[in-house]
Structure 1
Amino acid sequence: MSNKQVGIEFKQVQKSYEDKVILPNLSFQINRGDFVTILGTSGSGKTTTLKLINRLIEPSKGQILLNGQDTKAQDLTKLRRQIGYVVQSIGLFPHMTVAQNIAIVPELLGWQPDKIAARVDELLTLVQLDPSDYKKRYPRQLSGGQAQRIGVVRALAANPDFVLFDEPFGAIDALTRLELQKQLKQIHQQMPDKTFVFVTHDIAEAFFLANKVMIMNEGRIEAYASPKELLTKEQAPFVKQLLETVTLEQEMWRDLHA
């Protein structure tokens, strides 16, 4: 039995917009230090689930706990400052340097300038961007992959317990995306106390990054297990069908090069 503490817990969470039900009744736990990917087709509820964690969306019913504390009972600003958030559009401020972008939350938290400067250098080094070269650059002087790296480290800047990723690599070319996936996995391995939750519709990405994969369909969890378990054990029809698409893609690729 695992002795890990629960970091995120959904208890019978429902989300509706008027008469449209997005999440009918969602309950699950994510242990502290896990890297969980939420996989599903468009409209499966995966992004809604992610945004409920940092209260970008409020639940219609149910309870969401972070480290055992009800998120609704917490000050919204303080809650979000302890949760890193990375999105596909990156959202770097164009009039601010890379260093200034990374330093936003630490400055809001009142960190001393020397501590902030050291953190900026540490994080840029972590994603293999030379601080002496990159910290004075502006977003317009970065490639798409470099900008996305800055988006990731900005989310890590204040040393949050949780980092949420909303399809962050979806608009990146295939080669750069693969490199970013490798770096993100390495980052998590170097920060085993951090809990990462990553939304994607890419099956290969979900299985490569995570130690647990949650597969959603129509607002419900169809499967929630390690990649190995999902690939080796009998699964529900929807999960089986989803995983078969990977095999089909591999066969098409082989046929193309035959």
Structure 2
Amino acid sequence: MDKENILEVKNLKQYFEPIKGYTVKAVDGVSFNIKEGEVLGLVGESGCGKSTVLRTIMGVYPPTEGEIWFKGNQISDKKVFAQNKKDVRQNMQVIFQDSAAALNPRMKIEEIIAEPAVVNHIWKGKKQIQKEVGELLEYVGLDQDVMEKYPDELSGGQRQRVAIARSISLKPDLILADEPVASLDVSIQAQIINLFSHLKKAHNSAFLFVAHDLSVVRYLCDRIVVMHQGKVVEMGKTEEIFLNPKEEYTKELLDAILMPDPLYERERRSRLKKD
């Protein structure tokens, strides 16, 4: 049985006018979909429009044109969004790249993780909050003693785990991850990526994974959308993109990374020369 789309983005355009008479086409006609439980990688060089797509889906920017559908509802329409606001806010969560900026420095870790569930009246009472937060901390590999700490008392990797714990507290259908491991060292990156992989399998959570590190994308994502200058230039299953890229820009992206696999690297370069 085919899985249904959890998210559909149709001909999305996001234009900005920083100076009167000068328009920046940050996103220019982007379309893709994400199915239930699928991890879709959105990749491209810095400034290509990846994060703008994610922020437009979140509602930070109203789209210039196009449609955004979440669970069959066109949430880019203000009236439809208002009718489905509770469902969207509970079932679409975001993980930002900069966990230090994303976490309120005046709130304790327990309060930060519990906030979405408390605001939505899902967790009630101190006892339930402590129990649920404790389980989430354990799930993301943190000790319960961090509950009473503040964000600036934690390392970057710990803060990112707190951000992940908060994002999954409501067991969302879709997680928007905006370069969530870019600012972390390699060992912590591996731990976070393994955690995402576990979330996908354990909770059937779908991900929109925005990244520029293609080695991470290859490990985690089911499909890839390649963006360049605000447009989608290639889309397909992860292994197909890596082993047989069609577009020159995609080939250049792949050629810029080093794979820790000599046989794979030799085969890939041989394919690129033949093309």
2:95 maps to 86
RMSD: 2.1
> Which amino acid is the alignment partner of residue 93 of structure 2?
G
Kept in 1, the 8 Å contact 2:171–2:203? The answer is: no
Q: Matched residues in 2 for 1:249 and 1:135: separation?
A: 38
Stretches of 4+ aligned residues off by more than 6 angstroms: 248-251
Which region of structure 1 is more displaced relative to structure 2, 239-248 or 87-96? 239-248
Which ranges in structure 1 are unaligned for 5 or more consecutive residues? none
- How many residue pairs align between the two structures? 249
User: Would the alpha carbon gap of residues 248 and 100 (structure 1) be closer, same or farther in structure 2, given more than 3 Å must change?
Assistant: closer
Q: TM-score, normalised by structure 2?
A: 0.83
Q: TM-score, normalised by structure 1?
A: 0.89
1:14 maps to 13
1:139 maps to 151
Deviation of 1:173 after TM superposition, in Å, equals: 1.6
1:228 maps to 239
Q: Matched residues in 1 for 2:121 and 2:239: separation?
A: 44
Deviation of 1:154 after TM superposition, in Å, equals: 0.6
Kept in 1, the 8 Å contact 2:14–2:64? The answer is: yes
Deviation of 1:134 after TM superposition, in Å, equals: 2.2
Q: Matched residues in 1 for 2:15 and 2:210: separation?
A: 20
1:67 maps to 71
Question: Does the alignment pair 1:210 with 2:221?
Answer: yes
Q: Matched residues in 1 for 2:2 and 2:128: separation?
A: 34
Secondary structure, in 3 states, of the residue corresponding to 2:103?
coil
Question: Does the alignment pair 1:190 with 2:189?
Answer: no
Kept in 2, the 8 Å contact 1:54–1:80? The answer is: no
> Which amino acid is the alignment partner of residue 141 of structure 2?
Q
2:273 maps to none
Secondary structure, in 3 states, of the residue corresponding to 1:117?
helix
Q: Matched residues in 1 for 2:182 and 2:219: separation?
A: 15
Among 201, 220, 240, the residue aligned to 2:212: 201
Among 138, 157, 170, the residue aligned to 1:125: 138
Q: Matched residues in 1 for 2:44 and 2:33: separation?
A: 18
Which region of structure 1 is more displaced relative to structure 2, 94-103 or 133-142? 133-142
Kept in 1, the 8 Å contact 2:97–2:182? The answer is: yes
Q: Matched residues in 2 for 1:209 and 1:234: separation?
A: 18
Among 180, 186, 192, the residue aligned to 2:192: 180
* % identical equivalent positions: 27
Which ranges in structure 2 are unaligned for 5 or more consecutive residues? 18-22, 266-275
Among 234, 240, 252, the residue aligned to 2:251: 240
Deviation of 1:21 after TM superposition, in Å, equals: 1.4
